[in-house]
Structure 1
């Protein structure tokens, strides 16, 4: 028989404690966020919109602010009623998020059109690709010894470790800083790769200086318009993109962005965000997003705000009102790359082929040289490739994309082309101006304010933005519901192996 004291004790547990817990909010699942703002509708912004809806559910209203065009660096230009990629032209085959988006949206890979590459010193071709794989390998060995094999092993090891992120994200693990994300993939070595140049890293594994000067510099200039002084992790991402590993989307790569926004039924607001203002509330902070739209100023209120636009990019200033940011400012700005889409006749004589019929290359990369006015020169295929499509023979007018540090003047155009019908120029602040010892921006800027685009200071690519988007969506979800065991967990590879 229970004593009177124990009865009173039981009554306390049954009546008073639940009331106390209710009063303190314990045991009550927090409400899901009502409204989320995403600033920027490039691949990062459109991907995070999709991932946020995956995590929080279809009932969450998501507004996407875009000052320019949906797609960002995934952009096209029109020549003779055909569209061509003017931005990021190809995607790596290991990019699992992009592969997933293509399948989810019912898109298709564009038919591959074969082409050969060459590297130009500013005066002559230093390396020419042939149709024979073994001959290409022999030429690499003859010129550079086993440097290309050392490079390949280095890149494969890095990419193998990078692929771990997909397993982590499939199990809904997130990281509060870019450093923690990199550390989970490859330990301190991966973090250090953001502070050491690609040239220094490759020299450390025995890659020859000549191979770095001839080949590595040309690939990095074609990718980022910068030198081999860029961080090793950025360089590894660039060097992983060999031609056989790349693909594109039929109809244009930008269809991923517009497709994800349409599928999530996001409300796209074509306006430029000028300020984010903190408003205190009883439970959680509320953020007011202020924006310009044509000649008017508008604003709205949100529980979460994701910035998927580069804060360090000229012309994209956002004021933060009523709170102090912990964001670290990288020591630099965004790098300008000029994309010139030229419809004309290539001057093959400039590259050592007086007879244009004998010019066999669809792409020419340029090493760092005072004699070279361009980073890369590429014959473009339209975004819609028909079954019987073939590249134009070199003696016919074709559409070429020239990447350079500045707009090409008339003399430079006349050097590269015998004649041309049209030139369309797009200036991109495409990537950070990379240097050594640059700090990585914070992801968590405030309790409900996240910075997605800061990941570009570690490495910049379409898939890196998609990975960062998934991480931010998981981080916001896990922090909102206080699932701390899913954030910054050490030794995740071992943890997942033991769980499975």
Structure 2
């Protein structure tokens, strides 16, 4: 064996050992660095988390408050894609068209008054906020009459008795009287309403089985309701073979009370109106406005009362909102949750939406006693507790209803009309009048088939409009349904994941009365 070779080989091995050790350390360092780079670099399969976005909502009614509620409910929590939510309200109270008045010490609903038992968003709001429900006072025990301007063409018996037996007898007789006058058309009307309600229930399906809609047309077509907005209620009811007498009298009375309009309204709005005359109707004890106040209080909202937005401008990456108070706000997302028909917000850039008029309902509240002579009757006890009217331009009101009986000759009433009821007319209708309050509501759209709808997305970016759905039907519940869709639309277009459950809802709400005062 060559020693030198052996020695040389041994020396080479001694030289290689520190080199290998160094190389191993360098390789380990390279692997470590690449691992850090890999972990810190977002891959195409992982979701990109954006910075929290500021949302500005104009309007504190059920639409605006519901948008805030659903944004918080559905948005991701770590980190949340929705940051600050501002709500701007031009009045000094929340609730929008949900409002109460105080008449001689009693509080009554002045705006949106009743809810249907299948208004499931409202039902959930009440449970979530621990509010108290009261049943509608105008139940089966209240007497009802149809006034044609000269006489009552139909009247029910007063079943408001202390004895349950007599109540049942009177209720049974009233059913016979109703059937004798309108026949099987009553069942056809009920089937028509139930069909529309069943289709509307599609909007409560789980998020997995319910799309996010970018237009009202798409939303209505998916539920099978769109065709009802293309024809009048009268056309729809004639097709299902309702009797002309039922349409002319009872159906007309209902649409005049609920929407201040005749059977020429669109079919879906008419079906919603008829559904609002059924049983099981309810309201929130103390005022329906508490739903809006409670949702705002539990949605971590920055509320701006007495601040009217004068202009909304898109400035590239954000919206600038300027108020009549001289304040300026920046928002990533802006939601208009109030009808654009009678407010003066300047939009830059401008956009076009279908022209729409609001139907004004004049609500007159009177403490006093009706004059039987006005109705060509000899006794005030012969006047029904709810007086509905047929379509006749000579009749100066659409309905008169008893809100509360204080004593035999002292009651509180609510009058709905299309025009202001002057004092001279009130003095003819009432023999005694001790208190009067008048409210002029831009209550709902003037419906005209076929309906045309403004888009949910007004500018193709992030300016949203909740009230575009009102051209289909205007209720507290339809506003909540539209608001829920807009909230999901915002999140889906912001690449956020929409949750499908409400398991994280709080179980109670703080006191909301500091957000509200009577009209």
CA contact (8 A) 2:76 2:497 kept: no
C-alpha distance in structure 1 between counterparts of 2:184 and 2:47, whole Å: 62
C-alpha distance in structure 1 between counterparts of 2:61 and 2:332, whole Å: 22
**Could you give the per-residue CA deviations for residues 288-345 of structure 1, whole angstroms, max 9, x where no partner exists?**
111112xxx1111111111101112x2x021111x353x5323x31111111111111
CA contact (8 A) 1:169 1:470 kept: no
Structure 1 match to 2:94 = 70
Structure 2 match to 1:288 = 320
The 3-state SS of whatever aligns with 2:101 is: strand
Structure 1 match to 2:335 = 306
The 3-state SS of whatever aligns with 1:364 is: strand
Are the structure 2 counterparts of residues 357 and 118 from structure 1 closer, same or farther at C-alpha, using a change threshold of 3 Å? closer
Structure 2 match to 1:328 = 353
Q: Which has the larger radius of gyration?
A: 2
> How many angstroms does 1:236 deviate by?
0.3
Structure 1 match to 2:256 = 221
Structure 2 match to 1:134 = 172
Structure 2 match to 1:124 = 151
Unaligned runs of 5+ in 2: 1-29, 160-169, 501-519
> How many angstroms does 1:415 deviate by?
2.5
Structure 2 match to 1:107 = 131
The 3-state SS of whatever aligns with 1:305 is: strand
Matched, 1:318 2:353: no
C-alpha distance in structure 2 between counterparts of 1:373 and 1:170, whole Å: 50
The 3-state SS of whatever aligns with 1:126 is: strand
CA contact (8 A) 1:32 1:56 kept: no
Structure 1 stretches of 4+ with a deviation exceeding 6 A read 23-26
CA contact (8 A) 2:87 2:301 kept: yes
- From 399, 402, 406, the equivalent of 1:379 is 402
Matched, 1:48 2:67: yes
**Could you give the per-residue CA deviations for residues 373-425 of structure 1, whole angstroms, max 9, x where no partner exists?**
101111124xxxxxxxxx445x4221111111111112321222112012111
C-alpha distance in structure 2 between counterparts of 1:129 and 1:100, whole Å: 35
C-alpha distance in structure 1 between counterparts of 2:255 and 2:336, whole Å: 28
Are the structure 2 counterparts of residues 48 and 129 from structure 1 closer, same or farther at C-alpha, using a change threshold of 3 Å? farther
**Could you give the per-residue CA deviations for residues 338-370 of structure 1, whole angstroms, max 9, x where no partner exists?**
1111111111333354222444x3211111113
Structure 1 match to 2:281 = 246
Structure 2 match to 1:194 = 229
Are the structure 2 counterparts of residues 300 and 75 from structure 1 closer, same or farther at C-alpha, using a change threshold of 3 Å? same
> How many angstroms does 1:241 deviate by?
1.2
CA contact (8 A) 2:258 2:276 kept: no
**Could you give the per-residue CA deviations for residues 184-224 of structure 1, whole angstroms, max 9, x where no partner exists?**
111xxx21211210001101110122211111111111111
CA contact (8 A) 2:42 2:48 kept: no
The 3-state SS of whatever aligns with 1:414 is: helix
The 3-state SS of whatever aligns with 1:29 is: coil
State how 1:202-281 maps to structure 2 within 5 Å: 202-270=237-305, 271-280=307-316
Deviates further, 135-144 or 98-107: 135-144
CA contact (8 A) 2:114 2:283 kept: yes
Q: What is the RMSD computed on CA atoms of the aligned residues? A: 2.6
TM-score (norm 1): 0.84
Are the structure 2 counterparts of residues 466 and 268 from structure 1 closer, same or farther at C-alpha, using a change threshold of 3 Å? same
> How many angstroms does 1:243 deviate by?
4.7
C-alpha distance in structure 1 between counterparts of 2:206 and 2:314, whole Å: 32
C-alpha distance in structure 2 between counterparts of 1:27 and 1:466, whole Å: 33
CA contact (8 A) 1:90 1:248 kept: yes
CA contact (8 A) 1:51 1:470 kept: yes
C-alpha distance in structure 2 between counterparts of 1:120 and 1:310, whole Å: 33
C-alpha distance in structure 1 between counterparts of 2:88 and 2:372, whole Å: 45
Matched, 1:470 2:493: no
TM-score (norm 2): 0.81
Deviates further, 239-248 or 347-356: 347-356
> How many angstroms does 1:259 deviate by?
1.2
CA contact (8 A) 2:232 2:449 kept: yes
C-alpha distance in structure 2 between counterparts of 1:235 and 1:32, whole Å: 45
- From 396, 415, 425, the equivalent of 1:412 is 425
**Could you give the per-residue CA deviations for residues 254-279 of structure 1, whole angstroms, max 9, x where no partner exists?**
11111111111311112111111112
**Could you give the per-residue CA deviations for residues 461-498 of structure 1, whole angstroms, max 9, x where no partner exists?**
110001001111111111111679x9xxxxxxxxxxxx
CA contact (8 A) 1:169 1:471 kept: no
The 3-state SS of whatever aligns with 1:110 is: strand
Structure 2 match to 1:164 = 202
C-alpha distance in structure 2 between counterparts of 1:49 and 1:170, whole Å: 21
CA contact (8 A) 1:328 1:439 kept: no
Structure 1 match to 2:494 = 480
C-alpha distance in structure 2 between counterparts of 1:470 and 1:366, whole Å: 36
CA contact (8 A) 2:114 2:136 kept: no
> How many angstroms does 1:237 deviate by?
0.3
Are the structure 2 counterparts of residues 212 and 128 from structure 1 closer, same or farther at C-alpha, using a change threshold of 3 Å? same
The 3-state SS of whatever aligns with 2:324 is: strand
C-alpha distance in structure 2 between counterparts of 1:241 and 1:28, whole Å: 45
The 3-state SS of whatever aligns with 1:380 is: strand
